[in-house]
């Protein structure tokens, strides 16, 4: 059975978090002389002289309503990348523990593992990019702390069936991290609703994709309150700056704009897929639940160079498992997509 106490590193359990001025005094006061801030103001226009809210309550209250969770179940990070790193630091003992990755997948899991000196066990996805469940269960051992499931998966674009995720949640004693960076573009719903039932589920989402706020660096992790408490304890105290908090808070009031972007992106994805279909040197177009399309082409690096020479940059994913000669193309604006198709039609192999 999953036991959070058992899988948390000893040093993390013992660690006392940094206690900021804003932690020690949370109420209203007339005069704040507790944080060594510049009481006179900022050297440019705007009020940036006070430290931001360490727990981003304003953002979390709005987010809790939209996601139908309570604020104790939300962690906000400096991008989802910060949440990924903190999960390693909280639960994986360097040089002893391991994590399972399912390539081809998002590169940051591997980077975070390496930086934290954690062994990676790779279980490649099958040729249709589904999870090889038998092999996952074969390689899990008593030192396996995390499994990363990217759904929809980057770079393949497919969403992983909830049944498969459930099987892993129910049969694995570590933490199952489901990275839903692209969930807003997906056909089937988020696995967030499973959170109340599974104490070992962490769902990652982000403001960097459908919300269009990548520059602000804000990612979300949703999990059981006990997990959130542990990562809150070890995060840098003021990990989300006040500009990001303010702008994300404004964005959350514009849900209809968000919905407009999502539906336009899906419409463009459909257009792009149907146009790519007509191009003779594109062998396969993988179905996408994300805002990008993976295509298998006759000669990926040649086509990559041809596009680059024409000012269009896509991602060459050819070196990843089961992605031989594959390019990943992000869905652009209507004009950008039309231009891409025009240029591709000028290519002579």
Ligand X SMILES: *Cc1c(COP(=O)(O)O)cnc(C)c1O
Shortest Å distance, C-beta 201 to ligand X: 16
Contact call for residue 329 and ligand X (CB under 6 A): no
Please state, in angstroms and rounded to a whole number, the distance separating the CA atoms of residues 104 and 303. 21
Query: Angle CA(129)–CA(134)–CA(140) in degrees, nearest 5?
Result: 105
Contact 178, 80 (CB under 8 A): no
Q: Show the DSSP H helices in 197-294 as ranges.
A: 225-234, 242-252, 255-277
Shortest Å distance, C-beta 217 to ligand X: 7
**How many amino acids of this chain bind ligand X (CB under 6 A)?**
13
CA atoms within 13 A on the CB side of 63: 25
Give burial (CB, 10 Å; 0-12/13-18/19+) of 136.
Answer: buried
Contact call for residue 150 and ligand X (CB under 6 A): yes
Contact call for residue 265 and ligand X (CB under 6 A): no
> What is the SS3 string spanning 87-154?
HHHHHCCCCCCEEEECCCCCCHHHHHHHHCCCEEEECCCCCCCCCCHHHHHHHCCCCEEEEEEECCCC
Contact call for residue 125 and ligand X (CB under 6 A): no
Shortest Å distance, C-beta 62 to ligand X: 18
Instruction: Specify the residue, 97 or 180, whose C-beta has the smaller distance to ligand X.
Output: 180
Shortest Å distance, C-beta 179 to ligand X: 5
Contact call for residue 103 and ligand X (CB under 6 A): no
Q: Which stretch binds ligand X (CB under 6 A): 76-84, 135-143, 168-176, 259-267?
A: 76-84
Instruction: Specify the residue, 22 or 73, whose C-beta has the smaller distance to ligand X.
Output: 73
| Sole binder of ligand X in the list 54, 79, 104, 174 (CB under 6 A) | 79
Q: Which stretch binds ligand X (CB under 6 A): 119-127, 205-213, 254-262, 331-339?
A: 205-213
Shortest Å distance, C-beta 150 to ligand X: 5
CA torsion, ordered 161, 209, 244, 150, to nearest 10 deg: 30
CA 287 to chain centre: 20
Among residues 137, 135, 126, the alpha carbon closest in space to that of 161 is found at 126
Q: Phi, psi at residue 25, to the nearest 5°? A: -130, 110
| Sole binder of ligand X in the list 56, 73, 154, 200 (CB under 6 A) | 154
Residue nearest to ligand X (CB): 79
Contact call for residue 289 and ligand X (CB under 6 A): no
Contact call for residue 201 and ligand X (CB under 6 A): no
Instruction: Specify the residue, 222 or 344, whose C-beta has the smaller distance to ligand X.
Output: 222
| Sole binder of ligand X in the list 56, 80, 245, 337 (CB under 6 A) | 80
| Sole binder of ligand X in the list 56, 156, 159, 208 (CB under 6 A) | 208
Contact 50, 37 (CB under 8 A): yes
| Sole binder of ligand X in the list 81, 97, 224, 289 (CB under 6 A) | 81
Contact call for residue 219 and ligand X (CB under 6 A): yes
Instruction: Specify the residue, 20 or 110, whose C-beta has the smaller distance to ligand X.
Output: 110
Among residues 188, 204, 190, 184, the alpha carbon closest in space to that of 255 is found at 184
Residues that bind ligand X (CB under 6 A): 79-81, 106, 150, 154, 179, 181, 206, 208-209, 214, 219
């Amino acid at each position: 059975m999953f036991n959070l106490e058992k899988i948390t590193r000893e040093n993390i359990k013992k660690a006392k978090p940094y206690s900021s001025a804003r932690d020690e005094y949370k109420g209203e006061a007339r005069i704040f002389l507790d944080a060594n801030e510049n009481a006179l103001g900022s050297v440019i226009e705007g009020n940036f002289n006070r430290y931001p809210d360490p727990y981003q309550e304003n953002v979390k209250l709005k987010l809790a309503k939209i996601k139908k969770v309570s604020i104790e179940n939300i962690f906000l990070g400096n991008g989802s990348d910060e949440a990924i790193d903190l999960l390693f630091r909280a639960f994986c003992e360097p040089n002893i523990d391991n994590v399972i990755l399912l390539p081809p997948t998002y590169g940051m899991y591997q980077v975070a593992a390496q930086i934290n000196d954690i062994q990676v066990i790779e279980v490649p996805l099958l040729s249709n990019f589904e999870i090889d469940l038998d092999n996952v269960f074969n390689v899990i051992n008593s030192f396996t702390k995390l499994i990363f499931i990217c759904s929809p998966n980057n770079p393949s674009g497919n969403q992983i069936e909830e049944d498969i995720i459930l099987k892993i949640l129910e049969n694995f004693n570590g933490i199952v991290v489901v990275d839903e960076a692209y969930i807003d573009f997906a056909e089937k719903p988020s696995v967030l609703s499973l959170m109340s039932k599974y104490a070992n589920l962490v769902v990652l989402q982000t403001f960097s994709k459908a919300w269009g706020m990548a520059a602000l660096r804000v990612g979300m992790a949703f999990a059981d309150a006990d997990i959130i408490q542990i990562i809150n304890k070890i995060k840098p105290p003021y990990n989300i700056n006040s500009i990001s908090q303010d702008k994300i808070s404004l964005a959350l009031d514009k849900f209809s704009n968000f919905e407009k972007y999502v539906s336009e992106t899906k419409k463009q994805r459909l257009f792009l897929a149907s146009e790519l279909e007509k191009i003779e040197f594109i062998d396969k177009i993988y179905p996408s639940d994300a805002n990008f399309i993976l295509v298998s082409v006759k000669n990926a690096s040649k086509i990559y160079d041809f596009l680059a020479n024409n000012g269009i940059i896509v991602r060459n994913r050819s070196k990843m498992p089961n992605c031989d000669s594959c390019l990943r193309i992000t869905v652009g604006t209507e004009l950008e997509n039309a231009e891409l198709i025009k240029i591709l039609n000028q290519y002579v192999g």
